[in-house]
Amino acid sequence: MPVNVMIPTPLRPFVGKKSVIELKAASVGEALRALTTEFADLRKHLYTDDGKIRSFVNVYVNDEDIRYLEKENTPLKDGDTVSIVPSIAGGR
């Protein structure tokens, strides 16, 4: 089922400078896998080397944070919007 994945500005150079990618996926995990399969350079920014979503990568379905839904198993339906939202951290 087609869903829209919103790409944050710092990741747009890795998806042909697009801000939205439409793809077919039944869950958030499927959507992210489809995205990183099509745009392989994106993978290292979303996933750690052992395949987990990086801690500072946040994913929303419509306006809900997937941490409060079913995480990567959160189901998607036609027309849903999946947003990748950075969180920012650092320090000396």
Which residues here bind other proteins, judged by CB under 8 A? 8-14, 41, 44-45, 56, 58, 60, 65, 85-92
- C-beta closer to other proteins: residue 50 or 78: 50
- How far from chain centre, in Å, is Cα 86? 10
Residue with smaller CB distance to other proteins, 22 or 63: 63
DSSP designation for 91: -
Q: Which of 34, 36, 59 is nearest to 47 (CA)?
A: 36
Residue number, 26 or 62, with CB nearest to other proteins: 62
Is 22 in contact with 15 (CB distance < 8 Å)?
no
CB of 3 to other proteins, least distance (A): 19
User: Minimum distance between the CB of residue 77 and other proteins, rounded to whole angstroms?
Assistant: 23
Coil, strand, or helix at residue 21?
Answer: strand
